[in-house]
Amino acid sequence: MTTAAPERAVRAADPRARLSRAIENAPLAVPLVLIAVVLTVATDRFLSVDNLTNVVVAAGIVAIPGLAMTLCIAMGEFDLSVGSTVSLTGAVTCTWIVGGHPAGLAMVVGLLVGAAVGLLNGLVVTKLGVTPFIATLATLVIVRGVSLAYTGGRDAIVSSSTLKFLAAGRVFGVPMPVVLTAVTALAAWWVVNRTRFGRWVCAIGSNREAARMSGLPVDRIRTTVYVIVGVAGGIWGLLISSQLQKGSGQLGLGFELDAITIVVIGGTSLLGGRASVVGTLLGAVLIETIRNGLNLLNTPPAYQRISIGLLLVVALTIQALRRNAPAEALDDV
């Protein structure tokens, strides 16, 4: 530690190191700019305030759980249950609003449900020693089932201006989801780069046993991260329900893969130990730009899946080649 700090200071001053850090996100920024240029030329609607706002709002909405997932993946684990959390949070909130409760209370209850799912994940993973992949896979199935049972398979349709404000409202002309994302992103950046907790999370990600040996409260940190992901999944659920003005057991199917995809495209290694907040934000913008562009070009939704899958593979191929460590890539799960 004592030698690392000055070393880091020296490295920060080294112009080459600074340049290499600056181009760290280039694999994302370059295709993003290229796609933007192509879309500007190919369609006359891409470069309009309305359309770009749509892109940013969509990217912001997926970035919130993405940022939480960044922490989780930096810890060397991941949470497959967020899609179901989205559904359950929305279902609970909308059902409470339909039941005549104030919207604010309903939203808080929804977020608490998200936190509870996260806590459940955390406890199953730390106290019962179940692998995160399987534990969160099981909660994915369970929470989806609870959500379907809670709504009885029906949509809870609401018309609440408070809930609607979350996705459609504006603060000083800035869309509410963008405000939320900006706050989340600043918080995430601060946590990852400036707090003890962030360093602990990365320490667990690079070597959990070493972290335990050096006295970190490993289980408590892991549980906290799962609760954070649960709450972020809850916020995602509120935003989605706010956009659609309904809660349903069918919402959020496959969302967990979206959240993981933007983190991985953003350059946070699945091996753990490193978190890239800016990368995740860029990943979200990139994916939503592609979706938007394909919509503008009237491509059928099927091609969106193909292109996002290919993007994931290409981005990771570039990362793997850049890392230039064939052995390491194979140990990666």
Partner 1 sequence: MTSDTALPPAPGAQAPAPTTETQRRWARQHSIGTLWETWGITAVLVVLLAASPLLSSDFLTVANLQSVLRESAYLGIVAAAMTLAVMNGTFDLSVGGQLALVSVTTLMGYAAGGTGLAALVAVLTGMVCGAVNGALVTAMRVPPFVATLGMLFVFRGVAYVLTQDGPKTLPYSEIGSPFVKIGGLNIAGIPLPFLIMLACYGAVWVLLRRTATGRRIVAFGSSPEAARFCGISVHRIRMLIFVVIGVSVGIAALTYISRVWTADGSAQDGFELRVIAAVVLGGTSLKGGKGTLIGTFSAVLLVGVLNDLLVSRGVDASYQRVVLGCVLITALAIDGLRTRFAAPGSFARMLPRRRREAPAP
User: What residue ranges bind partner 1 (CB under 8 A)?
Assistant: 80, 124, 128-131, 133-135, 137-142, 144-149, 153, 249, 253-254, 257, 260-261, 264, 270, 300-313, 316-317, 320-321, 326-327, 329-333
Cβ at position 217, least distance to partner 1 in Å: 18
Tell me the β-bridge partners of 156.
Answer: 247
How many residues are listed for the chain in this entry?
A: 333
* Residue among 6 and 254 whose Cβ is closer to partner 1: 254
Other Cβ atoms closer than 10 A to 243? 17
* Residue among 29 and 270 whose Cβ is closer to partner 1: 270
Spatial CB neighbours of 39, under 8 Å, sequence gap ≥ 6: 46, 47, 289, 292, 293, 296
Which token pair is 116? Answer: 């509870």
Q: Rounded to an integer, what distance in angstroms lies between the CA atom of residue 255 and that of residue 251?
A: 9
Residue 170 and residue 53 in contact, taking contact as beta carbons nearer than 8 Å: no
Cβ at position 3, least distance to partner 1 in Å: 28
Q: Rounded to an integer, what distance in angstroms lies between the CA atom of residue 323 and that of residue 333?
A: 16
* Residue among 37 and 141 whose Cβ is closer to partner 1: 141
Q: What's the helix, strand, coil split of the chain in %, to 5?
A: 75, 0, 20
Cβ at position 310, least distance to partner 1 in Å: 6
* Residue among 8 and 322 whose Cβ is closer to partner 1: 322
Cβ at position 73, least distance to partner 1 in Å: 11
* Residue among 116 and 329 whose Cβ is closer to partner 1: 329
Q: Rounded to an integer, what distance in angstroms lies between the CA atom of residue 128 and that of residue 131?
A: 9
β-pairing, 156-157 vs 174-175, is: unpaired
Cβ at position 273, least distance to partner 1 in Å: 14
* Residue among 190 and 303 whose Cβ is closer to partner 1: 303
Which token pair is 14? Answer: 């080294």
Cβ at position 131, least distance to partner 1 in Å: 5
Q: Rounded to an integer, what distance in angstroms lies between the CA atom of residue 234 and that of residue 112?
A: 8
Other Cβ atoms closer than 10 A to 193? 11
Cβ at position 313, least distance to partner 1 in Å: 4
Rg (C-alpha) for the chain, rounded Å, is: 20
* Residue among 105 and 314 whose Cβ is closer to partner 1: 314
